[in-house]
Chain A
Amino acid sequence: DQQVKQNSPSLSVQEGRISILNCDYTNSMFDYFLWYKKYPAEGPTFLISISSIKDKNEDGRFTVFLNKSAKHLSLHIVPSQPGDSAVYFCAASADGAGSYQLTFGKGTKLSVIP
């Protein structure tokens, strides 16, 4: 039973255009969401996060949108660059005793074409 779903295994975008990566979740107890980026043969690195009390968080070219009623979040990258080509993982955390645990989606492989 996947609590965090990334339904698109891959995405190809032209350089300079917008990349939109989507993530859905089922657990209504999740209150903090993170995006991690992973290059081949490296560990994931933190990209951006959002609390459930917000609907948008922006950091440079990266913006995360949260729609709580739809249990959906998305990561927008504008403009996309070839160096953004990586696997992007959506992760979620629930407050309380288990807040140490991040639940990860399966990831979306983004390819930015020059």
Chain B
Amino acid sequence: NAGVTQTPKFRILKIGQSMTLQCTQDMNHNYMYWYRQDPGMGLKLIYYSVGAGITDKGEVPNGYNVSRSTTEDFPLRLELAAPSQTSVYFCASSYSVRLAGGYNEQFFGPGTRLTVL
């Protein structure tokens, strides 16, 4: 049981290039999330998905796109990379969001460190 896996671990892009950050989970979770963490800051939600074929914007979606064709995979696409997208990107998943009186924790991948020069 690998949990949430992300590839690549590191990447350097030139301004204007594009790339896809891969995320896979093997826990059969319905909900998946993409966050970014800038230095000295908390995590900010980029996009999320409540199931295959359903995605929606989070707090900071500009410059990114996502798709969810399977339960397991939730790739994040950067088009026309900009220096402002230099960050650490975390993918996460959870079974659902809320149970009665509880909150389903999110499980995080190890992150992708992206630098745009």
Contact = CB atoms under 8 A, between A and B. Distances in A.
Q: A and B bound?
A: yes
Contacts of A44: 43, 90, 108
B106 interface: yes
Given A46-B105, A49-B103, A41 B111 contact: yes
Nearest to A48: B105
Contacts of A103: 42
B103 A43 contact: no
A104 B105 contact: no
Interface of B: 4, 31, 33, 40-45, 48, 50, 58-59, 90, 92, 97-98, 101-103, 105-111
Contacts of A41: 110-111
B102 to A, nearest CB: 7
Contacts of A46: 105-107
A9 B98 CA distance: 30
27 contacts: A36-B108, A41-B110, A42-B111, A43-B4, A43-B92, A43-B108, A43-B109, A43-B110, A43-B111, A44-B108, A49-B105, A51-B101, A51-B102, A51-B103, A53-B101, A89-B43, A91-B42, A95-B98, A100-B33, A101-B45, A101-B48, A101-B58, A101-B59, A102-B43, A104-B43, A106-B41, A106-B42
Contacts of B4: 43
Nearest to A47: B105
B97 A100 contact: yes
Question: What class of interface size applies to chain A in its complex with B?
Answer: 20 to 34
A104 B50 CA distance: 20
Given A34-B103, A89-B42, A106-B41, 20 more contacts: A4-B42, A36-B108, A41-B111, A43-B4, A43-B90, A43-B108, A43-B110, A44-B43, A44-B108, A45-B108, A46-B106, A51-B103, A53-B101, A93-B97, A93-B103, A100-B50, A101-B45, A101-B48, A101-B58, A102-B45
Interface in A33-61: 34, 36, 41-46, 49, 51, 53
Interface in A79-103: 89, 91, 93, 95, 99-103
Contact of A42 (B31, B40, B59, B110): B110
A105 B111 contact: no
